[in-house]
């Protein structure tokens, strides 16, 4: 609608406005002056006779009762004659006359805003000669693309259109949208009133142009950062992030899509193993600028300086649903290599505290000796321990007392694989096995049966009177 109004007002403003002298005016039928027109061109100030002449002297009043059929030329004559080449009427001044039928004059002298003449220097081609602008001629069967209303208005009343229901029915623009325009606007006015009206039209057209320009501008989205805390920002240069965003925006922005990029996509070796995820949704009938949206995000979501940025941000235009977002995934920092150590042979025994496991049943030597013998019966695949091996656990209950024996590889200990059953090597008699170490954890710790642990190279042997 704005475009239509804009077009119609621009059409009217392009015309030569003529003014009508009130009925009490005197003077000749027209005043001719030589002004700044072309060579030998004349500017005619046309007026109507007062009192009105008889209609029979000005071509009759068959078109409109009480008004002359013949127009009076006015304005620059070159413009007037070019207009007459294109339009049958509306180019000159229509005066009232005394009707032969009623004996009375018309209903008042109208102010006329006619159809605009063609541009200066344009000569209308004869019938059946191709139009110099688009190559079409009258009644040709070829079709043209419909003109944009803001650039060219198709008038339904023109012979080249013959519009019906606001659609051209003939000519090269058949099927294109057309508009009903009146060729005459009736009002009484003086020269100063017409000039004032022209100024108003000028301001109105300028205002509508500005509105159109504002409507064409991309809408600024609302930006939200994942955090405003500088400590949450990641170490990525804002300029580098902008390069990746431009790369993403160089793709199709007319449909909803997402893309994962890396530094390699912008020929950079920086930020190895970083991942940069971008998303966009163009919304519905929304004019936006992808690059500008991401520039707003990287600018607003910058960290303490231009070398850091918040890891996530989004931008959205609420009234049309367009949205943009990015997410930076920073690779996990490599864990520092733990300090390792090496030990060989039997180490110092460490006893548990007496109350470490709370209240527990009595631990009797015969019962613990019997339970500990189970360590020597472990299968080969489970008994051989190395770094990363699962610990070996043996559990027994005697009366109300729980026994738990554990043989495990000591964390960060570097050493060769060990058979937990036979730490000392040599003959496989009972006193030369794990049984001896586990029994001693009870027997050599004076702590009320709470037990203890001892290391042999990288394997630890532990006893405690509790499953916890």
Q: Is the same domain home to 411 and 450?
A: yes
Asked if the structure places residue 430 within a domain, the reply is yes
Task: Check whether residue 443 and residue 358 sit in a common domain.
Answer: yes
Distance CA 280, CA 257 (A): 6
Note the pLDDT of residue 33.
Answer: 44
407 domain residue, yes or no: yes
Q: Kindly give, in sequence order, each residue whose CB lies less than 8 Å from that of residue 275, ignoring residues fewer than 6 positions away.
A: 260, 262, 328, 329
Q: Measured between alpha carbons, how far is 454 from 434 in angstroms, rounded to an integer?
A: 11
DSSP state of 135: S
Domain boundary among 280, 296, 329: 329
395 and 443 part of one domain: yes
Residue 336 lies in a domain: no
Is 442 contained in some domain?
A: yes
pLDDT score recorded for residue 288:
86
pLDDT value of residue 25 = 38
Same domain, 311 and 393: no
Question: pLDDT, tens digit, for every residue of 185-236?
Answer: 444 556 676 677 677 677 767 766 766 666 556 667 899 999 999 999 999 9
pLDDT at position 348 is: 95
Half-sphere exposure in the Cβ direction for 455 (13 Å, CA): 15
Residues 292 and 230 in one domain: yes
Tell whether 307 is covered by a domain: yes
Statement to judge: residues 378 and 448 lie in one domain:
yes
> Is 243 within the bounds of a domain?
yes
Looking up tokens 């918040």 gives 310
The CATH number covering residue 243 comes to 3.30.430
5 within some domain: no
Give residue 142's pLDDT: 47
Q: How many independent structural domains does the chain possess?
A: 2
361 and 431 fall within a common domain: yes
Q: Which two tokens stand for residue 195?
A: 């000039």
Task: State whether residue 191 is helix, strand or coil.
Answer: helix
DSSP string, 332-397: PPPPPPPP-B---SB---EEPPTTTT-S-----HHHHHHHHGGGGG--HHHHEE-TTPPPEEEEEE
3-state secondary structure of 137: coil
The reply to whether 354 and 459 lie within a common domain is yes
Q: Tell me the two tokens of residue 349.
A: 């025994």
The pLDDT of residue 148 is 75
pLDDT given for residue 191 in this prediction: 67
The domain of 275 spans 222-329
Contact (Cβ atoms closer than 8 angstroms) between residue 194 and residue 263: no
Q: Centre a 10 Å sphere on the Cβ of residue 371 and count the other Cβ atoms it contains.
A: 22
Asked if 325 and 356 sit in the same domain, the reply is: no
Residue 249 inside a domain? The answer is yes
For residues 360 and 318, membership in a common domain is answered with no
Tell me, yes or no, whether 354 and 441 share the same domain: yes
- Tens of pLDDT, residue by residue over 121-178, are 444 444 444 444 443 444 444 456 788 766 677 788 888 888 888 888 988 888 888 8
- Residue-wise pLDDT tens for the chain (468 aa)? 444 444 444 444 444 333 333 333 334 444 444 444 555 567 777 788 888 888 888 888 888 888 888 888 877 777 777 787 777 777 888 888 888 777 777 654 444 444 444 554 444 444 444 444 443 444 444 456 788 766 677 788 888 888 888 888 988 888 888 877 544 444 455 667 667 767 767 776 776 676 666 655 666 789 999 999 999 999 999 999 999 999 999 999 999 999 999 999 999 999 999 999 999 999 988 888 899 999 999 999 999 899 999 999 999 988 888 999 999 999 988 888 888 999 999 999 999 999 998 888 888 889 999 999 999 999 999 999 999 999 999 999 998 889 999 999 999 999 999 999 999 987 788 888 999 999 999 999 999 999 999 999 999 999 999 987
Are 465 and 406 in contact by the 8 Å Cβ rule? The answer is: no
Q: Please answer whether residues 360 and 465 qualify as being in contact, where contact means their C-beta atoms are separated by less than 8 angstroms.
A: yes
For residues 356 and 324, membership in a common domain is answered with no
């Amino acid at each position: 609608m704005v475009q239509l109004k804009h077009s119609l007002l621009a059409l009217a403003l392009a015309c030569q406005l003529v003014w009508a002298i009130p009925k009490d005016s005197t003077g000749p039928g027209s005043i001719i002056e030589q002004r700044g027109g072309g060579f030998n061109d004349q500017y005619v100030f046309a007026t109507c006779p007062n009192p009105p002449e008889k209609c029979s002297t000005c071509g009759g009043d068959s078109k409109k009762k009480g008004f002359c059929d013949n127009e009076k030329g006015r304005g620059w004559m070159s413009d007037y004659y070019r207009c007459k080449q294109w339009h049958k009427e509306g180019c000159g001044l229509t005066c009232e006359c005394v009707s032969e039928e009623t004996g009375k004059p018309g209903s008042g002298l109208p102010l006329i805003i006619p159809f605009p003449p063609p541009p200066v220097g344009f000569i209308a081609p004869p019938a059946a000669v191709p139009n110099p602008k688009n190559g079409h001629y009258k009644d040709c069967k070829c079709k043209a693309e419909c003109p944009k209303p803001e650039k060219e208005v198709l008038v339904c009343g023109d012979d080249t259109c013959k519009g019906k229901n606001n659609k051209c029915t003939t000519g090269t623009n058949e099927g294109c949208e057309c508009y009903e325009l009146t060729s005459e606007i009736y009002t009484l006015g003086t020269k100063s009133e017409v000039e004032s009206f022209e100024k108003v039209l000028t301001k109105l057209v300028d205002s509508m142009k500005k509105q159109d320009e504002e409507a064409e501008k991309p809408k600024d989205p609302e930006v939200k950062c994942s955090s405003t805390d500088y400590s949450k920002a990641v170490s990525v240069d804002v300029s580098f992030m902008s390069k990746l965003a431009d790369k993403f925006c160089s793709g199709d922005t007319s449909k909803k899509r997402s893309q994962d990029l890396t530094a390699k996509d912008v020929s950079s070796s920086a930020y190895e193993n970083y991942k940069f995820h971008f998303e966009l949704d163009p919304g519905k009938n929304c004019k936006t600028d992808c690059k500008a949206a991401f520039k707003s995000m990287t600018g607003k979501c910058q960290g303490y300086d231009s070398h850091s940025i918040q890891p996530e941000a989004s931008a959205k235009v609420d009234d049309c649903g367009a949205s943009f977002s990015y997410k930076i995934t920073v690779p996990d920092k490599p864990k520092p290599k733990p300090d390792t150590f090496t030990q060989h042979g039997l180490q110092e025994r460490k006893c548990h505290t007496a109350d470490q496991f709370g209240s527990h049943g009595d631990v009797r030597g015969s019962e613990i000796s019997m339970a500990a013998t189970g360590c020597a019966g472990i299968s080969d695949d489970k008994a051989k321990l190395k770094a990363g091996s699962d610990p070996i656990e043996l559990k027994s209950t005697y009366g109300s007392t729980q026994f738990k024996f554990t043989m495990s590889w000591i964390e960060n200990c570097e050493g060769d694989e060990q058979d937990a059953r036979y730490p000392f090597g040599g003959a496989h008699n009972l006193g030369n096995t794990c049984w001896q170490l586990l029994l001693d954890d009870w027997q050599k710790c004076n702590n009320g049966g709470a037990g203890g642990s001892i290391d042999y190279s990288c394997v630890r042997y532990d006893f405690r009177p509790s499953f916890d």
